Chains A and B, each alone.
Chain A
Amino acid sequence: MSPTPATSDTTRTTSGPSAPRRRLARGTPDQTRRRRRTLRDATTAALFLLPALILIAVLRLVPVVQAASDATHSSLPGSALPPQWVGLDNFTALWHSDTFWTSVQQTLLFNVIVNPLQIAIALALAVLLTQNLPASGLWRTLVFLPAAVPMTGSAVVWGIGLRPDGPVNAVLGTVGIDQQPFLTSPHQVIASLILIASWIGVGYWMIFLIAGLNDIPQVYYEAARVDGAGPLRRFWSITLPQLRRPLLFVLVADTVSNFVLFAPIQILTNGGPERRTSFLMYDIFHNSFELADPHTAAAELLVLLALMIAIVAVQFRLLGEAEDR
């Protein structure tokens, strides 16, 4: 494991002026030594790489293989009897399951709205908080704070807040707005979850965008100002293009995290009302643990994986185009 032998070897061969000459004189043994050194270097490299490779295998490859194996077997839910090979039956069952299609549809709907919205708000906040406002550090901290609260905690608090007889409705009542059902209504539940997820996420993504904004050289803005560009023009022509890379990072990472959003659903809605929040990630958990059917869950998981890979691939294409310019 220790890199010491390789280092000392290097030191020895380059230590004196006579070294190259000696190597020339004794060609064959020197080649042997070099070969041995290459071998030793390779061994050292392998040893250094080994922990990472083991982790990749154990944490990434093995689970995928096992998911594929689980997805092609079936047994009575939770059964202690050995599962049977069923080929693609689990996928066929999913194809015919209304519950599954509702999950796919609602997952996509949620993500189509939540991701652009979160990024737009995070960007607006980032731009605002890099404008030399007084106490901007304080504002940034306040906006970032929800990201530092454990998600389960915020979910519970929001659950109480959004109860039909809860404090949010009390506040709405004082300004003359009728009581809203929020999480208990199939028409408002997605919007309520978007509110909760964004309250948590916006401050976090904002930090990345602030870092990106601070990276844009001021000279661009100065030059644009000299050319007579207004604030909107400067935003479209300098800020946005220069921010493309951090923005695309935020887009991909935010999409991934929203696709696997789980805690608020498990805590607040259990997939309801009318299965409107039965997102794929939640449904996978539900099938695997609550209905004791890991085979259906594994099949569903592979579908989610494929869906995410497809969407992230599209986003990378955008990233690639951005870098080509």
Chain B
Amino acid sequence: MKNARTHHPARPAATARPGRRPRRLVATAAAAATALTLLITGCGTDSSPDSARPEGLVPEGQLKDPTSTVTITYAGAAYSADDMKPVLDAFHKAHPTIKVDYQSVPFDQFNSVLSTRLSRRDATLDLFDVDMPRTDAYQARGWLTDLSAAFPDLATRVDPASLDAATNDGKLVALPYQTSSQLLYYNKKLLKKAGVSFPSQKAEDRMTWEQVTADARTAQKDGGAKWGLLFDQVNRYYQLQPLAESLGGGSGVTGKDSLTADLTNDGWTKAMTWYGSLYQDKISPRGVPVAQTPETFAAGDVAFFPGGPWWATRFTDEKDLDFGVAPYPYFEGGKPATPTGGWSLGLNPASKKAQAAQIFMKFMALDKGGYAQYMSGLAVPPSNTAGTETFYSQPVFKDPRMAGAVELTAHELAHTAVLRARTPGYVEFEDALGRAFEDIANGTAPGTALTSATKAVDQAWAKYR
């Protein structure tokens, strides 16, 4: 090799420019590294010390529309821009001097979008959706405004669980507008073919998860179901917490300040062992992301689908999909427990258009039943008690396939609904649990996954203590 080089002066460039390339490489490496730095630090915190409250908030009786046009910005994750259009159209008609700029953000990105905008005291965002279990976490971060004086008499106008979820330390910090419940959808065609009797739609005849598992297996074996049972939100605490609650495992959080994870008790371990076995036994499919689960049921591939009532409009659109609804199951020897909670509206403390925003909040959550009266395909109950009537008289509930859903939802909200854990560290908690659920579904031993989630949560919560 040495010979080849010294004998041929054809490549003097190799030695004539020593160091030039390295320097360029250093620059490349540094550029890459610093570009990263920029990416991350570009959104570092930069907050002013004063904890400002927006000016202009008044008790709701004294609200006045602005005289010249005011535009408020509202970032939401509960509904798409299309869903919101009729609500906004009605609002713009009723309040011509206020324009609402609605920005729909996918749920998975919502927390990062809010943290970037609110932690920088960005006044260009006025209103945002608040996922109910995150209320305490947002309040601890200084993202919410005290609305106690602005909406003084809510107790008679919204359901108690929603009001409780929007209250922190005795103060109303968000305006609740939507709650939720869950149903067990089942595919009649697949069950019939397998000779499995349909589940009852009555709350008192609620199926056990054990029974559902057995029927799901039969539907796969004899009914040609590709999958026996598929959860709507395969990796979310919202839908899986009731499994542990049913077995007495609790919400997963204990302690006076709600900063101690309690995920390795018998209830959680047993519930998650069952959950993991669904995937182990190929009753549920591995590797199907949350966004694709409802489509799998809509395509007629799944026998049982515990899921949100918001999919009712999607499923009733499928003319050939023969399905029914039943109560959310519970474990043998346990108690019925169903998911609940929904969305509130939060007001950015840095907002410069608080009164216009307050008028919209009132319209959205309270006026004559609020937003629910304008949404045709709404299948999630509003928090507002006046709005529930409109909700239950919607066309989607008239579809024979949805028979029993109204009574069931009303019953669950009143008797079996369990709120998610309330803790200032909810974001980290939900994140760690989401990973644990995914790992359990993918075959990790439930004990191992829950222990490592507990450890991750405890380490992440150190900064709150």
Interface residues of A (CB under 8 A from B): 59-60, 63-64, 66-67, 69-70, 73-83, 93, 96-99, 163-166, 181-186, 215, 217, 219-220, 223, 237-238, 241-242, 245, 249, 252-253, 256-257, 260, 270-275, 281, 284-285, 288-295, 297-298, 301, 304-305, 308-309, 312, 316, 319-320, 323, 325
A281-B47 contact given A98-B459, A252-B25, A291-B427, CB 8 Å threshold: no
Q: How far is the CA of A275 from the CA of B40 in the complex (A)?
A: 21
B14 within 8 A of partner (CB): yes
Closest A residue to B348 using CB positions: A80
Contacts of A290 in B (CB 8 A): 111-112, 427, 431
Q: A75-B45, A257-B32 known; A220 and B459 CB under 8 Å?
A: no
Complex Cα gap A260–B30 (Å):
13
B1 touches A237 (CB 8 A): yes
Q: Are A320 and B22 neighbours in the complex by a CB distance under 8 Å?
A: yes
1/0 per position for B443-454, CB-CB distance to A under 8 A?
110000100100
A70 to B455 Cα, complex, angstroms: 25
Most buried by A among B37, B121, B435, B444: B37
With contacts A60-B30, A289-B112, A320-B22 taken as known, whether A82 is within 8 angstroms of B285 at the C-beta atoms is no
Find out whether the CB atom of B459 lies under 8 angstroms from the CB atom of A60: no
A-B contact pairs, 15 of them (CB 8 A): A63-B41, A76-B140, A77-B115, A78-B115, A185-B443, A252-B25, A253-B28, A284-B40, A297-B40, A298-B40, A305-B33, A319-B22, A323-B14, A323-B18, A323-B19
Instruction: Say yes or no: B2 contacts A67, CB within 8 Å.
Output: no
Whether, in the assembled complex, B428 has its beta carbon less than 8 Å from a beta carbon of chain A, the answer is yes
Q: Contact: A79 with B34, CB < 8 Å?
A: no
Interface SS of B by simple majority: helix
Q: Mark B166-188, 1 if CB is under 8 A from A, else 0.
A: 00000000000000000000000
- CB of B51 closer than 8 Å to a CB of A: yes
Interface presence of B460 (CB below 8 A): yes
Q: Does B427 contact A82, Cβ atoms closer than 8 Å? A: no
Question: Which of chain B's residues 114-147 have a Cβ closer than 8 Å to chain A?
Answer: 114-116, 118-119, 121, 140-143
- Report Cα–Cα, A187/B68, bound state, in Å: 63
Whether B36 sits at the interface, judged by CB under 8 Å, is: yes
Contact of A70 with B25 in the complex, beta carbons under 8 Å: no
Contact A60–B31 (Cβ < 8 Å) = yes
Beta-carbon nearest neighbor of A98 in chain B? B455
Task: With both chains docked as a complex, state the minimum distance between the C-beta of B158 and any C-beta of chain A, in angstroms.
Answer: 27
Whether B439 is near chain A, meaning CB under 8 Å from some CB there, is yes
**Chain A facing B: main interface SS:** helix
- Give the total number of A-B pairs whose CB atoms are below 8 A apart: 217
Which residues from A are CB-within-8-Å of B349?
80
Query: In the assembly, what is the distance between CA of A223 and CA of B427, in Å?
Result: 68
Asked if B12 is an interface residue, CB under 8 A from chain A, the answer is no
A272 to B434, CA, bound (A): 10
Assess the A289–B116 pair: CB atoms within 8 A.
yes
Distance of A241 Cα from B2 Cα, bound (Å) = 9
Q: Which A residues are CB-close (under 8 A) to B141? A: 76-80, 292
A76 contacts across to B, CB distance below 8 A: 140-141, 424, 463-464
1/0 per position for B5-28, CB-CB distance to A under 8 A?
100101100110011011001101
Known: A67-B37, A77-B463. A323 touches B15 (CB 8 A): yes
Chain A residues whose C-beta falls within 8 Å of the C-beta of B456 in the assembled complex: 98-99
Q: Kindly name the residue among A80, A272, A285, A291 whose own CB sees the greatest number of chain B CB atoms within 10 A.
A: A80
- The residue among A63, A163, A220, A292 with the most chain B CB atoms within 10 A of its own CB is A292
Q: Which of A78, A181, A253 has the most CB of B within 10 A?
A: A78
The winner among B5, B25, B36 for most chain A CB atoms within 10 A is B36
Q: Counting CB contacts under 8 A, is B62 at the interface?
A: no
Given A60-B31, A292-B119, A316-B25, does the pair A298, B44 have CB atoms closer than 8 Å? Answer: yes
Given contacts A79-B142, A81-B51, A185-B443, contact A289 B43 (CB under 8 A): yes
Q: Are A288 and B40 neighbours in the complex by a CB distance under 8 Å?
A: yes
Complex Cα distance, B452 from A83, in Å, reads 29
Q: Which of B243-260 contact A (CB under 8 A)?
A: none
Most buried by B among A96, A253, A260, A290: A290
Contacts of B21 in A (CB 8 A): 245, 249, 319
Nearest CB of A to B456, in Å: 6
Interface centre among B15, B22, B26, B44 (most CB of A within 10 A): B44
Q: A219 to B49, alpha carbons, bound, how many Å?
A: 72
Whether A80 contacts B463 by the Cβ 8 Å rule is no
Query: How close is A262's CB to chain B, nearest CB, in angstroms?
Result: 9
Are A256 and B32 interface neighbours, CB within 8 A?
yes
A216 to chain B, nearest CB (A): 9
Contact of A298 among B15, B41, B47, B287 (CB under 8 A): B41
Judged by a CB distance under 8 angstroms, whether B29 is at the interface is: yes
Question: Counting CB contacts under 8 A, is B35 at the interface?
Answer: yes
Interface residue B69 (Cβ < 8 Å from any Cβ of A): no
Does any Cβ of A come within 8 Å of B214's Cβ? no
9 nearest A-B pairs in the assembled complex, by CB-CB distance? A292-B115, A80-B142, A289-B112, A241-B1, A60-B34, A63-B37, A63-B38, A78-B115, A66-B41
* Closest A residue to B434 using CB positions: A270
- Verify if B265 is at the interface (C-beta below 8 Å from A): no
